Chain A
Amino acid sequence: MKILIQNGSLVLPDGVKKGDVLIEGGKIAALLDSGSKVGDAEIVDAKGLLVSPGLIDLHSHLREPGFEYKETIATGTRAAAKGGFTSVCCMANTKPVNDNAAVTELIKLKAKREGVVRVYPIGAATKGLKGEELTEMGELQESGVVAVSDDGRSIVDANRMRLVLTYAAHFNLPVVTHPEDLNLTNNGAMNEGYWSTVLGLSGITRAAEETIIARDCHLAALTGARLHVAHVSTAGGADIVRLYKAKGAKITAETTPHYLYATDDWVDGYDPSTRVNPPLRTKDDVTALIAALKDGTIDCIATDHAPHHFDDKNLEYALASTGISGFETALGVCWTALVAPGHMTGEQLLSKMTSAPAELFSLPGGVIAEGGVADITIIDPSEEWVVDSSLFLSKGKNTPFNGKKLTGNVVRTFVGGERVYERGV
């Protein structure tokens, strides 16, 4: 079966051009001039819309196996598709932990059977995420993990982190660090600063994040390993990444839509949907993160999609689980935070969500090119919409963006030429 996406603005590696995309056999068969005639092809009209490579998320929590009450691969991948994602990497903090090939294979099997987007598991760096014994990274890689990480907690012991990096480098596997010094966080519930003082909540200093970023960047330089810094949320964290990149260490970094838009004053009122780890920071941090994204210090945007059950959030603020259900608002939040105010072009933003992440973890897709996989997201850059979390396909309705007006929305998503999401259908 053929599909012809007509009259759209194609987001190509060398710029945005009007044109048509012909999909056949799950691949991009041809890039054609606008208004081309192709016999027997189903037509998708993309007039006035952007035809982008499918979005790629290097950081999400699909919760399966073990926490199916929060999310499943079936619901999580449908939410991802609605958010325009065609590939998602899922973290290892499942139950059991994805620290062995059997769990990786299970996730892949479930994704194939029940999922609608490509799922790339990230394996644990240490057994049981305990920060002690190394996982069998060789076998994990053979089973399909694209990186290793103890995301959810830091590897506390610096020597263990060094060993993880050294061993992972043997397989050229990126190590994703979750930078959080658990002594410095001091059981904090939000960013330490004016608002933690005003609200009477215990604060988490930025230094809790930055000291581990510095430690791990230094260890990456020492070992020559590939380090990917997860969810950078502070100006200082970006500065450290910039410094070590300049030294030539193999370091990459991500931030998330919420750290580019939401700030710690949103915690006023104690709404647990604003509780996330690392915590929402300040306007100065947002400004610095946008600059770091623009100058390439931060390579890509990942969602850290962290769905939670209603009961895990409907609690006293400091007892509520941390995390934001992020797939379905990622593009709108980024467009609203970055493109609408003119910080970057839509094309620049999309590269941070498509080609850049694809390159970092060597994933297929990320570009629209003849012969490539037909992973395509059609975007209406001017659509204004109001977030209604009750309409989320994710089981996790936990979002601080509920009720917010956003600009930019996903209209259709194709994975391997299959329609996996259509707006309003």
Chain B
Amino acid sequence: MAFSQKHLLGLRGVSADDINEILNTADLMKVILASNNKKTPHLQGKTILTVFYENSTRTRLSFELASKYMGGVAANMSASGSSVAKGESLIDTARTLDRMASDVLILRHPMTGAPHLMSQHVKASVINAGDGTNEHPTQALLDMFTMKEKLGGLSGLKVAIVGDVMHSRVARSNLWGLTTMGASVTFAGPPTLLPPELAAAGCVVTESVDDALRDADVVMGLRIQLERQQKGLFPSVREYHKLFGLTPERLKLAKKGALVMHPGPMNRGVEISSFVADSPESVIDEQVTNGVAVRMALLFLLTRNNG
């Protein structure tokens, strides 16, 4: 099965075949990562630029390491300290970077749709590393990779995703990816943080975390941005944790051995209790390793397509 995408702007509309191709390729990449000599020639002669308008630890580093492990030339641009600070438009920045013979541009941007706009103005492949409140497809891919690795497959899984669904790009990408792969997704969170008409997208939506967790195979916490409290979206960290936090008591409702996941960075004691985050069921640390493998796979598939 040939990978059919030129860009990865989101998982909405991406076929199961393409997702499988990435996940299967990531299996091989993970073997390489686990070996004593983390080096492959897959990206030799390719230039990979990370273009980050927002802060990031794991996404940016994992893309950069993935590029380097495969022999690519990796460089990065931050909005601060670049011409963006001088008022350069996204399109002009994109064209400039494109003309530096880059093969892949990896964009994180606070505005929804920014990678889509960029992709219309460059020759390089564009990977969305998080746009506004829309998508973060590589996070969902590494989440799915982790679920598949631990549970044997995705079809038929019951996945509970809990927290600030409204503003979460991780939530949306997982929704599209998981439903395409045949898993069922239940979202839970306070009503002020659930987007309207979400259920019409083919998932279950509830304000009860207990209901969402019952019999779940996977429990995923979403990061809550603490400034949302000042905007009136929830009254206090204390009440948030009490009503919507992932606690050891609540976890008992999920299937025995259900995976605990979180995209990071975590607010311990807010959306997730340390006892849950550090429990034997937690695969949060492995998600990070898998993030490198999945990004290696994606970079390889995109640049191979470009010939």
Contacts and interface: CB of A to CB of B under 8 A. Distances in A.
Interface of A: 189, 192-194, 196-203, 269-270, 314-319
Contact of B133 (A194, A202, A314): A202
Interface in B157-192: 169, 172
Interface string B133-171: 111000000000000000000000000000000000100
Interface of B: 12, 89-91, 109, 111-114, 116-117, 131-135, 169, 172, 195-198, 200-201
Given A198-B12, A318-B111, 4 more contacts: A201-B132, A315-B91, A316-B90, A318-B132
Given A200-B135, A200-B169, A193 B117 contact: no
A315 B89 contact: yes
A316 B109 contact: yes
Contacts of B197: 193-194, 197
B117 A270 contact: yes
A396 B245 CA distance: 50
A72 to B, nearest CB: 25
A193 B116 contact: no
A201 B200 CA distance: 16
Contacts of B113: 199, 201, 270, 316-318
19 contacts: A194-B200, A194-B201, A196-B196, A197-B196, A197-B198, A199-B134, A200-B134, A200-B172, A201-B134, A269-B116, A270-B113, A270-B117, A314-B91, A316-B114, A316-B117, A317-B111, A317-B112, A317-B113, A319-B111
Contacts of A203: 195-196
A315 B43 CA distance: 32
A393 B109 CA distance: 36
Given A270-B116, A315-B89, A317-B112, A192 B134 contact: no
B111 A316 contact: yes
Nearest to B110: A316
A7 to B, nearest CB: 49
Given A315-B89, A316-B90, A192 B196 contact: yes
Contacts of A269: 116
Contacts of B111: 316-319
A315 B88 CA distance: 11
A199 B112 contact: yes
Contacts of B90: 315-316
The 10 lowest CB-CB distance pairs between A and B, nearest first, are: A200-B134, A270-B113, A316-B111, A194-B197, A197-B195, A317-B113, A200-B133, A200-B112, A201-B112, A316-B114
